[in-house]
Amino acid sequence: MEDHTGLVRRTDELAAIGRMFGARGSSAASLELEHARAAHRAAAELDERPLQATATGALALAEYSAGNIAAAQEAFAQAAALVDSLSDAELGARVDALLNLGWACQSLERHADGIRHLERGLDVARATGQGHLLVPLTIGAAICKTWLGRLDSAAALADETIESARPALNDQSLAWLLTLRCWIATLAGDLSLAERCGDEALGAVGEGLTACYVAETRLEAGDPSRAREELLAGARGQELPMIELSYRPHFYEILTRAALALDEPDEARDWAARAEHCVRDGALGGRAAEALMARAAVQLAGGASRNAATSAIEAAEAAERPADRILSGRARTLAGRALIAGGQRRRGGAELERALGTLQACGARRYADEAARELRRQGRRVARPVTRRGAGDGIAALSARELEVAELVAQGRTNRQVAEALFLSEKTIENHLGRIYSKLGVSSRAALAGTFAAGRVEG
């Protein structure tokens, strides 16, 4: 029995190494799968359901890493049934069962289920004093929320963890959290915050996979050359060997956009073809959507507007299967542009309106602005987002911690003084200030103080 338990533990360690942000290159995935299958067989011989749940969740992750989506789905279903049959008390000694299952949900685009399992894991980990599991559980839950377009909730979860756990985190764990925060901020359109978090993450661990995620920030900030360079360096070349096969379309789509921004259509066509090559039968909806978006972007740039519209609408429908709302909204913006380019202005406008509503609801401001600009080019009136003072904008939009920071800054304190007063790092204060500036629509400490004072008087 001890040998079997040790095998499961070793497999779980391998899963943990590969869990964060798709760190599963082809060689690592093969090793992980070999151990996971052996551990699953060994656990099946034991009368310990929590251990079986842990091993089965690790198997689901390993099959996914190897690109075996059907097998991963089967293992996931078994792991979910096992976990749901266990009480919190039974899972107290095997919180990693919830962690593996939650990350399998995230990988297999079962985001709502992932949030449920990972939040349960957070509750059990806190109750049993297993603080070492809080960071991977938090990252998994925040990723699921991000894919679902719940950016505010995902950002709050990441911020809370960075703030509370920063003193105890090693460089790698801090980099994972900051990379996550960078991604969320990029999708929300807060590129200043995104670059600060991304640069700090890169400073902690160098390029690696963090650079792949920061690359999208570089692209959105108008530096496609640097985006391409950093992504390829982080993923170790054009084949993206550091990324598991099933997730490569995500990064090939970014490379496609970068090449088009650099006016290199042949290269963009190659990246798009690579994205589609990674999409197999039964592919996950989000990754199929990204491959289709890469194809549509290349088609539109080449003047094939009708084909581009078809590809982009297919991408939106594929993204909607797992409820990847931001991805769906971006695809419909692309479809609207292609339809208008092909002379179908009414239909294109309808797609843009649909994209705008989805992206605004998610808080994806830059992407929403893109759809709005396209609509205005067609002569359509697009209302600015309504400011609702009492419903979450301006001062009311600040979190409790942001309110504390804003009040101290409004009093004239420096970042160092604020950090000392709140027992936080100056870097954390800088990040808070970036979000406060964005929410209040200001760009200086003096303007913050004025807006803050006026808001207090109105309140």
pLDDT at 22: 46
pLDDT at 442: 79
Q: In the numeric block, which tokens belong to residue 336?
A: 């609207």
Please tell me the distance from the alpha carbon of residue 404 to that of residue 257, in angstroms, as a whole number. 40
Q: Are 235 and 209 spatial neighbours (Cβ–Cβ below 8 Å)?
A: yes
Task: From residue 49, give the alpha-carbon distance in Å to each of 7, 45, 73.
Answer: 16, 10, 19
**Mean pLDDT, range 23-49, rounded to an integer:** 80
Please tell me the distance from the alpha carbon of residue 27 to that of residue 23, in angstroms, as a whole number. 11
Q: Are 329 and 359 spatial neighbours (Cβ–Cβ below 8 Å)?
A: yes
Q: Which CATH class is domain 244-385?
A: mainly alpha
Q: Are 74 and 286 spatial neighbours (Cβ–Cβ below 8 Å)?
A: no
**Mean pLDDT, range 334-358, rounded to an integer:** 97
Structure confidence by residue, pLDDT tens digits, 76-130: 999 999 999 999 999 999 999 999 999 999 999 999 999 999 999 999 999 999 9
1.25.40.10, 3.20.20.450, 2.60.40.10, 2.40.10.10: which CATH number matches 1-147?
1.25.40.10
Nearest to 227 by CA among 259, 196, 199: 259
Please tell me the distance from the alpha carbon of residue 164 to that of residue 133, in angstroms, as a whole number. 14
Out of 3-17, 42-56, 316-330, the most confident range is 316-330
Q: What is the DSSP string of 65-80?
A: HTT-HHHHHHHHHHHH
Q: Looking at 203-274, which runs of residues are DSSP E strands? A: none
Q: What is the CA radius of gyration of the chain?
A: 23
Provide CATH code, domain 389-458: 1.10.10.10
Question: In this model, does residue 458 exceed pLDDT 50?
Answer: no
pLDDT at 183: 97
Structure confidence by residue, pLDDT tens digits, 205-222: 887 889 999 999 999 999
pLDDT at 191: 94
Question: In this model, does residue 372 exceed pLDDT 80?
Answer: yes
Residues above pLDDT 90, as percent of the chain? 64
pLDDT at 81: 98
Nearest to 194 by CA among 224, 220, 212, 170: 220
Question: In this model, does residue 63 exceed pLDDT 70?
Answer: yes
The residues, any chain, with a CB within 8 Å of residue 289's CB and separated by 6 or more, are: 315, 316, 318, 319, 324, 327, 328, 331
**Mean pLDDT, range 25-40, rounded to an integer:** 79
Which pLDDT band holds residue 17 (cuts at 50, 70, 90)? very low
pLDDT at 427: 78
Domain with CATH 1.10.10.10 in the chain: 389-458
Which pLDDT band holds residue 385 (cuts at 50, 70, 90)? low
Domain with CATH 1.25.40.10 in the chain: 1-147, 244-385
Which pLDDT band holds residue 165 (cuts at 50, 70, 90)? confident
How many residues make up the chain in this entry? 459
Question: In this model, does residue 340 exceed pLDDT 90?
Answer: yes
Which amino acid does the sequence have at 196? R
pLDDT at 9: 58
